[in-house]
Structure 1
Amino acid sequence: MRFPLNPAGGRPPGRASWLAACVAVIVALATALAGGAVTARAAATAQVAAAELLSQGKPATASSTENATTPASAAVDGNAATRWASAFSDPQWLRVDLGATATITQVVLNWEAAYGRAFQIQTSADGSTWTTVYTTTSGTGGVQSLTVAGSGRYVRLLGTARGTAYGYSLWEFQVYGTSGGTTPPPGGGTIPDPTIQSLEATNGPLATATYTVPNPSGYKAGTVTYPTASGSYPGIVLMPGYQGTQANLSWLGPRLASWGFVVINVDTNTLSDSPDQRGTEIRAAGTQLLNLGNATGNPLSGKLNGTLGVSGHSMGGGGTMVALRDDIRFTAGVPLAPFHQSPNFAAVNKPTFFLTCASDVAAPGNTYAKPWYNSMTRAEKLYIEVPGDHLCPMTGNGNKAKQGKWIVSFFSRWLRSDTRFTPFLCGTQRDADRTNTSLVTQWMDTCPF
């Protein structure tokens, strides 16, 4: 949310009155939204945050295509509205070239209605000799998250029996794992072992720069903060709350970037956009961020590794939950004092960190974040309530040393699989925070993770 400036350039004295007006607006919106049916979108329920997305934007080929509008490349473009489809026969295959040998730990298949009943996942070092790392004869379609163990430069879906009279059709074919080719090299973007002191400092170990998105698509404006060191990094979208701008979370973008993330802080199309609209804008910003990383001629070229996270305040926190629920590309999220008049977000099974404010009357944690937390039975979760009102996660409010430490550690653990950050959330290093009642009023988690 945004405070108007007084003539002297500071905040107006009527903070309580402003908050009351804000609460009235949110309550009115909640009432209006509650009056209509909330249609559940198709939930993508693959937990893929524990590894790096390797396949997005990489070269893909297939045994056949149904027509020119369903090419192999559409299954690895990060767009869940485009698809690859094969000829109406068996067998068929889809292959992606990761560009370098990688350790493969997970494959996510987001099927269109034409799915595979019997298929194999295979890996290869040369594209000729294949090793099967997963096989089934009872595929169910939908979104399938497959745990595998293998290595190779090439990964292939080999379909041997169709589930329908049509061919094989995938909205997205995602391969997760680890590859030395995407790790920042020594002397460049190396991230040293974190400490309490370094995580609570305003800036992390990496130098950063900013880039203004020249032609925002699907949202009003965006400022990207990124590490200047060589290497590729996870991307994070920041979304403000009701009547808010990029200033809301301007404290967080540079902090995250200095710990090895490419962060886009956005403005909404209108200041009163609903949580669902903000969720759509988050997805648009994520798409454009990845596209900039895949393009040439801009400072983000080669900086994105294909993994996405999201954080938002208030209605932006509700939009964060929408993005986690509806878009498989977003693999971890941090909703801040979130608001959304939704029945539940039980379909979200991505790692989620709820940061709420003890004196929040606009979006009380007990009304919104805590029921969502409790309903998410298949996710790694963290819930921290701290002193303050609804503005406690915003720039200039709350304990930014502690908030920054927790948020950086959470995203580092789940977007980069960096377990060095786990002790600050799940180990001995967290206990001084968790048991300090002047700092934390509630703490819940699914540790160990």
Structure 2
Amino acid sequence: MTALIALATTLGLALALLTAAAPPAAAADLLSQGRPATSSSTENTSTPASAAVDGNTGTRWGSTFSDPQWLSVDLGATATISQVVLRWEAAYARAFQIQTSTNGTAWTTIHSTMTGTGGVQTLDVNGNGRYVRMLGTQRGTTYGYSLFEFQVYGSGGGTPPGNGIPDPTATSLETANGPLTTASYTVPNPSGYGSGTVTYPTSSGSYPSVVLMPGYQGTQQNLQWLAPRLASWGFVVVNVGTNTLTDDPESRGRQISAAGTQLIALGNAAGNPLSGKVNGTLGAVGHSMGGGGVMAALRDDSRFRAGVPTAPYHPNANFSSVTEPTFFLTCQSDSVAHGNTYAVPWYNSMSQAEKLYIEVPGDHLCPMTGSGNKAKQGKWIVSFLSLWLRADTRFGPFLCGPVRDPDKNNTSLVTRWMDTCAF
């Protein structure tokens, strides 16, 4: 008996050691975040499909108040799907299906229920496809369907946003072009704004988008320097011409929103160079009245996740409700829109936003093409938008901490610097 007990103990110990030494199963990757998303409908402009795959539980997709409705995400390539997480707002689905597709047309159901509970639902599934959608067939409330997040986990899928972008350095960020090759495309039939030229990475993958808006009497030339610089660091950039040269800041804000809407639509459509390249995350950069327009877009359109108003102008405006990250770039000798008159009061009033304020030598034109220190301005703008539109923390040190201090403390380069670091 003693020998049997000893043998059992030895075997049990050996089994425990083998179990402990066994490598853990590979964790599933989050494949859906930042990918292009579409839906059967939206409740309004503040509840787009892209809000359900942006990684932010403070934004949501909402549908119209009818059955059926669907939300679909394009993973970029065929993937093996192992789990889907639905983070419902109060308007949930009582009956719904999770479906996959290789082409976005023919669908295979991998999960179905008639007793959805709302809240956070974690579904273990088994399927394959490039496209994954939630098809709601019976609402749980009198409202529509509404998801804070639609998260698809598995392996495979397309190139993640930011993949292929090498680690940034001060030298690489201060050159005129980043690591990615770019091309240009003229927007056909601009809707809600005057004209648009898109500069985009030619490499595979989908990217955040940035709208560039000129100032009073300005054209696309105003911020032309910035378009290839941003695109070569992994952004799809539309450089906009306004409806008229005298459009006020509020009108420019609406045109920024319209340009973002059309850019997302082009990314979701087939037959153009932007197809599949636009992931639905939006930012904006503007000069003067265009900078005021950026602030209006951040205030009014929740799809815009970060903004860079440069030498911004917008009289009698209140932007205390803006909560998205904002980088104010102003000019020390600006007699048109000095930071003390506009940007600084806005900065101080935005108590819930991450903020950066840099004042540099020069007059009102210092952020425009052909003026100012473009090596430094480009480094700061690329870093800010990479951090906040792509969640690429590799760029944070150029804005916060010792790496940025040589810029911040150089009085010939920077005449005032404020921030909410660390971020």
From 163, 171, 191, give the equivalent of 1:217.
Answer: 191
Name the residue aligned to 1:85: 65
Distance 1:283 1:194 in 2: 30
Secondary structure of the 1:429 match is coil
Distance 1:105 1:346 in 2: 34
Q: How does 1:297-316 map to 2 (within 5 A)?
A: 297-316=271-290
Name the residue aligned to 1:98: 73
Name the residue aligned to 1:9: none
Against the structure 1 CA distance between its residues 222 and 309, is the aligned structure 2 distance closer, same or farther, given a 3 Å change threshold? same
Q: Does 2:355 correspond to 1:381?
A: yes
Secondary structure of the 2:403 match is helix
Q: Which amino acid aligns with 2:71?
A: V
Name the residue aligned to 1:57: 38
Distance 2:311 2:151 in 1: 32
Q: TM-score, normalised by structure 2?
A: 0.74
Distance 1:185 1:354 in 2: 26
Against the structure 1 CA distance between its residues 149 and 351, is the aligned structure 2 distance closer, same or farther, given a 3 Å change threshold? farther
Distance 1:287 1:239 in 2: 15
Of residues 426-435 and 198-207 in structure 1, the stretch that sits farther from structure 2 once superposed is 426-435
Q: TM-score, normalised by structure 1?
A: 0.70
- Contact 1:123 1:132 (C-alpha < 8 Å) held by counterparts: no
Cα displacement (A) at 1:418? 0.4
Cα displacement (A) at 1:83? 4.4
- Contact 2:50 2:281 (C-alpha < 8 Å) held by counterparts: no
From 140, 143, 149, give the equivalent of 1:168.
Answer: 143
Against the structure 1 CA distance between its residues 275 and 102, is the aligned structure 2 distance closer, same or farther, given a 3 Å change threshold? farther
Q: Which amino acid aligns with 1:183?
A: T
Distance 1:368 1:56 in 2: 36
- Contact 2:360 2:413 (C-alpha < 8 Å) held by counterparts: yes
RMSD: 3.8
Name the residue aligned to 1:336: 310
Name the residue aligned to 1:281: 255
Distance 1:151 1:353 in 2: 41
**Post-superposition CA distance 1:30-60 (Å, at most 9, x none):** xxxxxxxxxxxxxxxxxxxxx95446315x5
Q: How does 1:66-145 map to 2 (within 5 A)?
A: 76=48, 83-86=63-66, 96-100=71-75, 116=91, 126-128=110-112, 134=119
Cα displacement (A) at 1:70? 7.7
Distance 1:106 1:335 in 2: 35
Q: Does 2:291 correspond to 1:317?
A: yes
Name the residue aligned to 1:181: 157
**Post-superposition CA distance 1:273-329 (Å, at most 9, x none):** 000000111111111111111111111111101111101000000000111111111
Against the structure 1 CA distance between its residues 268 and 222, is the aligned structure 2 distance closer, same or farther, given a 3 Å change threshold? same
- Contact 2:43 2:62 (C-alpha < 8 Å) held by counterparts: no
- Contact 1:357 1:387 (C-alpha < 8 Å) held by counterparts: yes
Cα displacement (A) at 1:183? 3.1
Distance 2:299 2:88 in 1: 15
Q: Which amino acid aligns with 1:258?
A: S
Distance 1:314 1:103 in 2: 47
- Contact 1:278 1:319 (C-alpha < 8 Å) held by counterparts: yes
Secondary structure of the 1:341 match is coil
Against the structure 1 CA distance between its residues 277 and 107, is the aligned structure 2 distance closer, same or farther, given a 3 Å change threshold? farther
Distance 2:358 2:347 in 1: 11
Q: In the comparison of the two structures, how many residue pairs are matched? A: 359
Cα displacement (A) at 1:127? 3.2
**Post-superposition CA distance 1:365-407 (Å, at most 9, x none):** 1111111111111111111111111111000110000000000
Name the residue aligned to 2:231: 257
- Show structure 2 runs of 5+ residues with no match: 1-31, 52-59, 76-80, 100-109, 126-131
Between the aligned residues of both structures, percent identity stands at: 58
**Post-superposition CA distance 1:152-189 (Å, at most 9, x none):** 86669999975xxxx1146x755377987353599xx6
- Contact 1:54 1:176 (C-alpha < 8 Å) held by counterparts: no
- Contact 1:206 1:227 (C-alpha < 8 Å) held by counterparts: yes
Cα displacement (A) at 1:446? 1.0
